[in-house]
Amino acid sequence: MSEFITPAGWEVVIGLEIHAQLATRSKIFSGSATAYGAMPNTQASLVDLGYPGTLPVLNQEAVRMAVKFGLATGSRVADRSVFARKNYFYPDLPKGYQISQYEKPIVEKGSIDVLQEDGITKRVGITRAHLEEDAGKSMHEGLENASGIDLNRAGTPLLEIVSEPDMRSAREAVAYLKKIHTLVRYLEICDGNMQEGSFRCDANVSVRRIGAERLGTRCEIKNVNSFRYVEKAIHYEVIRQIDVLESGGKIIQETRLYDAAKDETRSMRSKEEANDYRYFPDPDLLPVVLDEAFITSVRATLPELPDEKAARFMASYGLSAYDAALLTASRDVAAFYEAVVAAAKPDAGLAKLAANWVMGDFSAFLNRDGLELSAAKVSTSGLAGLLDRLSDQTISGKIAKEVFELMWAEGLSADAVIEAKGWRQITDTRAIEAAIDAVIAANPEQLADYRSGKDKLFGFFVGQAMKATQGKANPAQLNELLKSKLASH
Amino acid sequence: MSLTRKDVEGIAHLARLQMTEAELAAYPESLSKILTLVDQLNAVPTGVIEPMAHPLEGEIQRLRPDGVTETDAHRKYQANAPQVASGLYVVPRVIE
Amino acid sequence: MTLHTRSLAALALGLTAREFSSVELTQHFLDRIAASNGALNAFLTVTAERALSDAKRADALLAKNQGGALTGIPIAHKDIFCTDGIQTTCASKMLKGFVAPYDAAVVERLTAAGTVLLGKTNMDEFAMGSSNETSHFGPVKNPWDLAKVPGGSSGGSAAVVAARLAPAATGTDTGGSIRQPAALTGISGIKPTYGRVSRYGMIAFASSLDQAGIMAASAEDCAALLAPMAGFDARDSTSVERAVPDYVAGLQQSLKGLKIGILKEFFAEGLEAHTGARVQAAIEEYRRLGAEIVEVSCPNLPLSVPTYYVVAPAEASSNLSRFDGVRFGYRCENPRDLLDLYKRSRGEGFGSEVKRRIMTGTYVLSAGYYDAYYLKAQKVRSLITDDFKRAFSQVDVLLGPTAPGPAFAIGDKVDDPVTMYLNDIYTIGANLAGLPAMSIPCGFVNELPVGLQLIGPHFSESQLLAVAHGYQQVTDFHSRVPAAYA
Q: How far is CA C212 from CA A405, B15, C183, C436, in A?
A: 72, 27, 17, 11
Per-residue pLDDT at A442: 87
Of C234, C306, C417, Cβ closest to residue B41: C306
Determine the residue type at C9. A
**Chain C residues with a Cβ under 8 Å from any Cβ in chain A:** 81-82, 88, 90, 95, 98, 100-102, 104, 199-204, 206-208, 234-238, 314-315, 317-318, 320-324, 326-328, 338, 342, 362, 365-367, 370, 374
Candidate list C177, C198, C304, C345, residue with the active-site label: C177
Query: In the 3-class helix/strand/coil scheme, how is C251-303 assigned residue by residue?
Result: CCCCCCCCEEEEEHHHHCCCCCHHHHHHHHHHHHHHHHCCCEEEEECCCCHHH
Sign of CA dihedral C173, C177, C179, C181: negative
Measure in Å the smallest separation between the Cα of A215 and chain C Cα atoms. Answer: 24
Q: Which CATH architecture has domain B1-40?
A: Orthogonal Bundle (1.10)
Q: Do B90 and A151 touch (CB under 8 A)?
A: no
- Choose the mutation target among A280, A282, A286, A288 for the interface with C, i.e. most C CBs under 10 Å: A280
Q: Do A288 and B60 touch (CB under 8 A)?
A: yes
The residue of chain C with its CA nearest to that of B87 is C327
Beta carbons within 10 angstroms of residue C288's beta carbon? 9
Question: CA-to-CA distance for B80 and C318, rounded, in angstroms?
Answer: 21
Q: Do A278 and C365 touch (CB under 8 A)?
A: yes
- A146 vs B contacts (CB less than 8 Å): 90-93
- A280 vs C contacts (CB less than 8 Å): 314-315, 318, 365, 370, 374
Annotated catalytic residue C153 = yes
From the candidate CATH numbers 1.20.1270.10, 3.90.1300.10, 3.30.1360.20, 3.30.930.10, the one assigned to the domain spanning C3-258+436-485: 3.90.1300.10
C323 interfacial to chain B (CB closer than 8 Å):
no
pLDDT, tens digit (0-9, with 9 covering 90-100), for A74-104: 999 999 999 999 999 999 999 999 999 999 9
Q: Do C381 and B92 touch (CB under 8 A)?
A: no
The mean pLDDT value of chain A amounts to 90
Per-residue pLDDT at C304: 96
Sign of CA dihedral A336, A341, A342, A343: positive
- C322 vs A contacts (CB less than 8 Å): 50, 52, 94-96
- C195 in Cβ contact with C239 (< 8 Å): yes
Of A31, A138, A285, Cβ closest to residue B94: A138
Question: CA-to-CA distance for C109 and C86, rounded, in angstroms?
Answer: 17
Of A56, A57, A97, Cβ closest to residue C321: A97
Of C200, C324, C342, Cβ closest to residue A53: C200
- C372 vs B contacts (CB less than 8 Å): 42
The overall longest dimension of chain C from CA atoms, in Å, is 70
Of A24, A44, A287, Cβ closest to residue B61: A287
Per-residue pLDDT at A1: 40
Task: Find the radius of gyration of the CA atoms of chain B.
Answer: 22
- Contact partners, residue A335, CB within 8 Å, separation at least 6: none
What's the distance, CA B17 to chain centroid?
A: 11
**Chain A residues with a Cβ under 8 Å from any Cβ in chain C:** 46, 49-58, 85, 87, 89, 91, 94-97, 149, 276, 278-280, 283-286
- What ipTM was reported for this prediction? 0.97
Q: In terms of DSSP bridges, do strands A121-133 and A157-163 run parallel, antiparallel, or are they unpaired?
A: antiparallel
pLDDT along chain A (489 residues), means of 10: 70 96 98 96 98 98 98 96 96 97 96 87 96 95 90 98 95 94 96 94 94 90 88 92 92 89 80 78 97 96 94 93 90 93 85 91 90 88 89 82 88 84 77 85 86 85 84 82 78
Give the A window 276-305 contacts with B, CB below 8 Å. 276, 278, 281, 283, 285-289
Angle at A161 between CA A157 and CA A167, to 5 degrees: 155
E strands, C149-280, are 168-173, 188-191, 211-216, 259-263
Per-residue pLDDT at A227: 93
Candidate list C36, C78, C304, C439, residue with the active-site label: C78
- Contact partners, residue C248, CB within 8 Å, separation at least 6: C69, C220, C223, C224, C227
Locate the domains of chain B by residue range. 1-40
Sign of CA dihedral C389, C391, C397, C399: negative
- B34 vs C contacts (CB less than 8 Å): 309, 356, 360, 417-418, 421
Neighbours of chain C (3+ CB pairs under 8 A): A, B
- B50 vs A contacts (CB less than 8 Å): none
- Of A141 and B44, more confident: B44
Of C194, C307, C335, Cβ closest to residue B92: C335
- A57 vs C contacts (CB less than 8 Å): 234-237
Q: Count of H helices and E strands in chain C?
A: 16, 11
Locate the domains of chain C by residue range. 3-258+436-485
The residue of chain A with its CA nearest to that of C90 is A52
Measure in Å the smallest separation between the Cα of B1 and chain A Cα atoms. Answer: 19
Cα–Cα nearest to C324, from C309, C310, C340: C340
C20 interfacial to chain B (CB closer than 8 Å):
no
Q: Which parts of chain C have pLDDT scores under 70? A: 1
| C141: DSSP letter | P
Question: CA-to-CA distance for C155 and C163, rounded, in angstroms?
Answer: 12
Q: Do C432 and B55 touch (CB under 8 A)?
A: yes
Domains plus CATH for chain A? Answer: 2-298 (no CATH), 306-421 (no CATH), 429-488 (1.10.10.410)
- C336 vs A contacts (CB less than 8 Å): none
Annotated catalytic residue C78 = yes
Measure in Å the smallest separation between the Cα of C425 and chain A Cα atoms. Answer: 23
